[in-house]
Amino acid sequence: MSDILLDIPDQIESRRLIIRSPLPGDGAVVHAGVVATLEQLRAWPASLPWAMFEPSLEASETFCRQSRIDFLARKGLPMLLFLKEGGHFAGACGLHDLDWKHKRAEIGYWCHREWQGQGLIGEAVQTLCDFSQHQLGLRRIACLADEQNLASRRVAERAGFRLEGILRNERIAPDNSLRDTALYARTN
C-alpha cells in the first residue's frame, strides 16, 4: 500500500491535550509561542536549529502550511499541542524522517514557556509514540536530545525510550560550537 493511502486521523487526544496536525492559519499562535519561548529554545541550538533564526509570522505560517502538506503526504507527522481546557497552544511534538518501509521515525518536541514543568510534553510524546507504534505499526522511534538538556532527556526516558549512546560532536550549533547528542530509541 502506498504511504499516502494510510488512514491517519488529523488529531488524537490525551488526557489533557488535543494533538493535531497544523492547519493554514495556525501560524499566528505558533509564532506567539515561539516568541514567548525563544530564550529557552535557543539554549539548545544543536537540537533546535530553527530557533536560531529570527522568528516571523510568515515563517511560522509557512511552517504550518508545509507541515500540513507533509502530514497529508505522510512524509512526517508534525503535530501542534492544545490544552483541552481553554484551548491554549502548548507546544509541538511530531514525527520526522518517517521511513514507512522500515517502520521507523524520529521524534521532536518543544513546550511553550507558560506550560513548561507540567508534564504536557511527556504526555504528548507518550500518546504520539503509543499511537504510532500500536496503530501505525512503527517499530522504532528515535529521539536526539542535546546531551546537556536534562529536561528533554527525562521526557524521553519517562516515555519508554532507552539511551543507546552519546554521539560525540555530531551536531554543530550555529555558533560553531560542537554539541554532543544523546541518542534514545523506543522499539517494539
Find the domain containing 98 and state its range: 11-139
Asked whether residue 174 is domain-assigned, the answer is: no
Asked whether residue 186 is domain-assigned, the answer is: no
For the domain that residue 86 is a member of, what is the CATH number?
A: 3.40.630.30
User: Dmax over Cα atoms in the chain, in whole Å?
Assistant: 44
**pLDDT for 174:** 54
Give the β-pairing of 77-83 and 17-20: antiparallel
> What percent of the chain clears pLDDT 70, i.e. is strictly above it?
94
SS3 call for 80? strand
Instruction: Please provide the DSSP assignment of 52-82 as one string.
Output: GSPP-HHHHHHHHHHHHHHHHHTS-EEEEEE
Asked whether residue 158 is domain-assigned, the answer is: no
Asked whether residue 150 is domain-assigned, the answer is: no
Asked whether residue 44 is domain-assigned, the answer is: yes
Asked whether residue 61 is domain-assigned, the answer is: yes
Asked if the model's pLDDT at residue 95 lies above 70, the reply is yes
Domains: count for the chain: 1
Residues 27-83: tens digit of each pLDDT:
999 999 999 999 999 988 878 888 988 899 999 999 999 999 999 999 999 999 999
How many whole angstroms separate alpha carbon 40 and alpha carbon 42?
A: 6
| pTM, entire model | 0.92
Asked whether residue 70 is domain-assigned, the answer is: yes
Asked whether residue 184 is domain-assigned, the answer is: no
